[in-house]
């Protein structure tokens, strides 16, 4: 990872793109996706390099680098834990985003924010559009929605990308958990009544590169977008396919959310409609195809 460098670097006249939260799984995938993108100067910042909850930290980063684009991947993502740590979740996902949005507005930089399907309540039975009403069920979802609203208020020149069920070979995620448990157990019970879209963090990273490029070239249409791999499935379907692709004999058994109770309720249906992002020329992989690439990496 290229560490954040403050004060300014006078050796580069390339457009600068600051990435916050660069140590997370999407951030690590984005670093891989930009290794050959030398037309820009990508500045990857961990929370130590750039703490979005501290105004001075943002000021130091911006004054040292004058970004054309900021991609915010810094987030509190512990969905169940957030129910007991609401203050921390809102500090990072709402307040920190507000500080970043205000700084981007002042610097005339485009802000690209990653949000979540958890802003919806899951009561629909057809894919969610960007314009559908939000009604999050959890503290996590509320804090992420708060961040969206702060951006819309303070930095209209922005792109918000809602995504879902993100996984990769990095960090903690459902795919890695299933592979671990599948190699240790003969069977696992997984819910059938939560429906959504798995999303490869590598594919999401490529979309972020696309929007960053459009922002630098001033051809981006600002606003809200939904992105995930195609195919609305249950966690049960996802787990069964993981075992099949990894050639693990672990049997996946069906259960329901009433039996497998989690502290934070999940939306029962949160499939995202990706028509809008596809209209700008983005090609989206089918979920099984995307999964196969990660399984291959982890095998």
The DSSP code sequence of 44-103 is E--TTT--TT-HHHHHHHHHHH--SEEEE------TTGGGT-HHHHHIIIIIHHHHHHHH
Q: Is the pLDDT of residue 4 over 60?
A: no
Residue 69 is part of which domain span? 16-171+200-228+271-285
Residue-level pLDDT at 12: 65
**Structural domain total, the chain:** 1
Indicate if the pLDDT at residue 6 is higher than 60.
Answer: no
pLDDT of 5 reads: 47
Q: How confident is the model at residue 261 (pLDDT cuts 50, 70, 90)?
A: confident
Active site residues per annotation: 140
The verdict on residue 82 lying in a domain is yes
CATH of the domain at 39: 3.40.50.720
Residue 97 within a domain: yes
Q: How confident is the model at residue 7 (pLDDT cuts 50, 70, 90)?
A: very low
Mean pLDDT (the chain, rounded): 94
Q: Is residue 23 part of a domain?
A: yes
**What is the model's pLDDT at position 226?**
98
pLDDT of 232-253, one tens digit each?
Answer: 999 999 999 999 999 999 999 9
Q: Rounded distance, CA 9 to CA 258, Å? A: 55
User: Which helix (H) or strand (E) covers residue 110, if one does?
Assistant: strand 110-116
Give the rounded distance of the alpha carbon of 81 from its chain centre: 18
264 and 220 Cβ atoms separated by less than 8 Å: no
Percent of the chain beyond pLDDT 90?
89
- Average of per-residue pLDDT across 223-233: 97
pTM of the model: 0.94
- The 10s digit of each residue's pLDDT in 141-190 is 999 999 999 999 999 999 999 999 999 999 999 999 999 999 999 999 99
pLDDT of residue 118 exceeding 70: yes
- Whether residue 183 lies inside any domain: the answer is no
Which tens digits make up the pLDDT trace of 84-98?
Answer: 999 999 999 999 999
Closest CA relative to residue 206, chosen from 50, 74, 35? 35
Residue 245 resides in a domain: no
Interval 56-65 mean pLDDT: 90
């Amino acid at each position: 990872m290229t560490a954040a460098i403050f004060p300014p670097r006078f050796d580069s006249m390339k457009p600068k793109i600051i990435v916050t939260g660069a140590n997370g799984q999407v951030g690590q995938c984005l670093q891989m996706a930009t290794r050959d993108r030398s037309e820009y100067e990508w500045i990857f910042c961990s929370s130590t390099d750039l703490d979005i909850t501290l105004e001075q930290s943002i000021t130091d980063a911006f004054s040292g680098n004058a970004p054309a684009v900021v991609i915010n991947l810094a987030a509190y993502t512990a969905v169940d834990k957030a129910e007991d740590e609401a203050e921390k979740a809102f500090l990072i996902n709402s307040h920190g985003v507000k500080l970043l949005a205000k700084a981007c507005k002042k610097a005339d930089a485009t802000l690209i924010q990653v949000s979540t399907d958890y802003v919806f309540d899951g009561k629909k039975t057809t894919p969610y559009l960007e314009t559908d009403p939000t009604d999050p069920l959890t503290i996590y979802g509320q804090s992420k929605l708060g961040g969206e609203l702060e951006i819309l208020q303070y930095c209209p020149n922005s792109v918000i990308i809602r995504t879902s069920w993100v996984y990769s070979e990095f960090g903690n995620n459902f795919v890695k958990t299933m592979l671990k448990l599948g190699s240790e157990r003969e069977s696992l019970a997984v819910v059938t009544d939560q429906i959504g879209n798995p999303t490869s963090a590598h594919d999401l990273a490529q979309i972020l590169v696309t929007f960053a490029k459009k922002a630098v070239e001033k051809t981006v249409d600002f606003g809200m977008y939904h992105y995930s791999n195609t195919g609305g499935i249950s966690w049960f379907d996802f787990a069964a396919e993981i075992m099949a692709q990894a050639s693990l004999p672990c049997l996946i058994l069906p259960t329901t959310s009433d039996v497998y109770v989690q502290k934070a309720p999940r939306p029962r249906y949160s499939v995202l409609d990706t028509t809008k992002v596809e209209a700008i020329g983005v090609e989206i992989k089918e979920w099984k195809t995307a999964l196969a690439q990660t399984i291959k990496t982890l095998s």
